[in-house]
Amino acid sequence: MRRVDRQDDWPQSWKDSYAYDRQEIYGEISNHGYACAYKNRRRQTLRLLTEVLAPGARILDLAGAQGNFSLTLAEMGYDVTWNDLREELVDYIRLKYERGQLQFAPGNALDLHFPFLFDAVLITEVIEHVAHPDEFLAKTAALVKPHGSIVLTTPNGTYFRNSLPKFSDCAHPRVYEAVQFRPDAEGHIFLLHPDEIRVLADRAGLDVDLVRLFTNPLTAGHMKTETLLRILPRRWIDMFEAATRRLPFSLQQKLLVQMAVRFRKREPVPDEICSREQDSIR
């Protein structure tokens, strides 16, 4: 991935993206908690994809923002399609592009018509910004081949500091439609709980392959631990992160900040089987 230097005449969206790139890929860290959390999320995301997909597979990076996952996966040999609502980011990503198969499909991916289904769709830090996560996941599943994968990352709703509502407790999520798709943490609407994931997956025709929780309050820089992240040796921080991920899942749900989920799309039920089942019900 090619390094770029900020220019004064860039559009504001490029400047905002560059601010993230400084911490995510250039190592110019101002917020150590954010940098640690992003490093953990990047590691988990790439692992969940590469465990089930060989290079050459088609991947859609949905709402891919400044394109760092798209560019990385393209360099690893995957055939990647980048997507985001902000079409102007295409030329920013092209500045960073060095090699690999990378296509651009700006717009609302759920309204676009692709000529093929994907082997996997990547949705990182997206679902918490939508008013109808159940519909969003179902529409995302429609973009994936049978037996294909969806890799999702999102903040863990059972983390003890979370104050946002649980989606399954909201009777009228449409009231949030006017504020969905806003960026950054201020745009979070619902934070999903692990026990909701299987329900949403089942409705979308997906099976949950695995759920991983990661990033503890120290590695996230929460509760005024940012100073510790600046002075502690990195290996100590990694050891503490690894130790918390060995805790019982009931404790992980309360202590770990981030969640990664890999779904597998089910084989569609043939129409004739559905008909026979409906006849038997009658």
pLDDT in tens, 6-50: 999 999 999 999 999 999 999 888 888 888 889 999 999 999 999
Provide the token pair at 27. 């190592």
pLDDT the model gives residue 184: 74
- 151 within 8 A of 115, measured Cβ to Cβ: no
pLDDT the model gives residue 280: 42
Left, alpha or beta for 166 (phi > 0: left; psi -120 to 50: alpha)? beta
User: In which residue are the tokens 């049978």 written?
Assistant: 146
272: confidence class by pLDDT, cuts 50, 70, 90: very low
The answer, as to whether pTM is greater than 0.95, is: no
Q: With a cut of 90, say whether residue 52 has pLDDT above it.
A: yes
Q: With a cut of 70, say whether residue 265 has pLDDT above it.
A: yes
Question: Which range in 167-171, 210-214, 218-222 is most confidently predicted, on average pLDDT?
Answer: 210-214
282: confidence class by pLDDT, cuts 50, 70, 90: very low
User: In which residue are the tokens 């990352």 written?
Assistant: 153
Q: Which CATH class is domain 12-281?
A: alpha beta
What is the average pLDDT score of the chain?
90
Q: With a cut of 50, say whether residue 107 has pLDDT above it.
A: yes
For 150-192, what is each residue's pLDDT tens digit? 999 999 999 999 988 899 888 888 888 888 888 777 789 999 9
274: confidence class by pLDDT, cuts 50, 70, 90: low
Q: With a cut of 70, say whether residue 281 has pLDDT above it.
A: no
Every domain of the chain and the residues it spans: 12-281
pLDDT the model gives residue 179: 83
For 54-93, what is each residue's pLDDT tens digit? 999 999 999 999 999 999 999 999 999 999 999 999 999 9
Q: With a cut of 80, say whether residue 276 has pLDDT above it.
A: no
